[in-house]
Amino acid sequence: MAVGNGVGQPVLELSGVKKSYGGYVAVESVDLALRRDEFLTFLGPSGSGKTTTLMMVAGLQQPDAGSIRLGGQPVDRLPPYRRDIGMVFQNYALFPHMTVRRNVAFPLEMRQVGRAERERQVADALQLVGLADYGDRLPRQLSGGQQQRVALARAMVYHPTLLLMDEPLGALDKKLREQMQREIKRIHRERRISVLYVTHDQEEALTMSDRIAVFNKGRVEQIGTPEELYERPATRFVADFIGETNFLPGRVTGADGAHCRVDIAGSPVAAMSPEPARSGTSVVVAIRPERLRLQPATQHDGGVTGTLTDVVYLGNARRSVIRLADGKDCFALHHANEAEAASLTRGQAVSLSWDGRHATVFPNDPPG
């Protein structure tokens, strides 16, 4: 899946990159490109190959096949310190016996930057991450969020071509995590640096990324903007992994290009198909909870019927649970001020309908 179609030379290009450990294939033929100034996130479950791919970019793992190019130049066999790449780890990896200032200065010392210029760049990096007054402290005197800021300053102080971040916020609590997400995006915009970010957190990926590459079993299932992946998933795995999705089994009764007609338990519904669909094919219709219209069954003029079994109050929204005729539960999400949905009661017969443009048809196979 070649994707590097940005303006000019991509910062990073991976072509046919593979990695195995014994008989286990960790990464299988990954092709992708990172555009200049782009924030690209690798998203996927544990063991999907995203971190292994990042480590090969960093030079901490060697690919078995394929090529890695940075700024148009091959770096496959270069050691990490010659790749002009900054890296931020989840565990911070700060030197405990060094002050904040010396931790940040360390990459510049290794590059034999003069003292005056080194001090200027360190001061600039600490100012950027909001720690200008913390230079004389040791890592143990800082909070987790402050330590992560030091790690970020150290990775950026020498202005690398590419910044790699491997689940850097995984050890932080929710509030601090959200604060650091905003800080990282601010720094990305201000410094116009290219970022390759790894996470298994879908919300984090949607919030921070220009584009997301969804990994599954060592392959990239889909790459695109957060909106593209959420609204137009290319595979059932992507639809299932990103956000919450209802999967309703049915059978195709007709198709006109990407537009499909599907029978679900005797009810005709509309949906879109990423691939050509044939009449009679067994499928599932994927539909997001917030895209469902919920009405009393007596008012419906199409759609799927069921019984409202539960309503969960979420503050600004309500999450309704609907038991369908086949015993499957379906979920609908609606704003708290939607009067019609709010007036429904448990045990009431209801109907679910949707705009066919927001539903996607996939083969009725187990997600993989």
- Residue 3 pLDDT > 60: no
Amino acid identity for residue 59 in this structure = G
- For the chain, which residues make up each domain, given as ranges? 12-238, 244-363
Q: Say which range, 71-80, 106-115, 205-214, 290-299, has the weakest mean pLDDT.
A: 290-299
CATH class of 244-363: mainly beta
CA-to-CA dists, residue 218 to 24, 127, 196, 301, angstroms:
10, 39, 17, 45
Q: What is the pLDDT of residues 116-130, one digit of tens each?
A: 999 999 999 999 999
Common-topology check for domains 12-238 and 244-363 = no
Q: At what angle do helices 144-156 and 174-191 cross, to 10 degrees?
A: 20
Q: Which residues fall within 8 angstroms of residue 219, CB to CB, at 6 or more apart?
A: 28, 29, 30, 49
Identify residue 158 by its one-letter amino acid code.
Y
Residue range 181-224, pLDDT digits in tens: 998 998 898 888 999 999 999 999 999 999 999 999 999 999 99
pLDDT of residue 300: 59
| Segment 157-170 mean pLDDT | 90
**Predicted pLDDT of residue 354:** 93
Q: Which CATH number describes the domain made up of 12-238?
A: 3.40.50.300
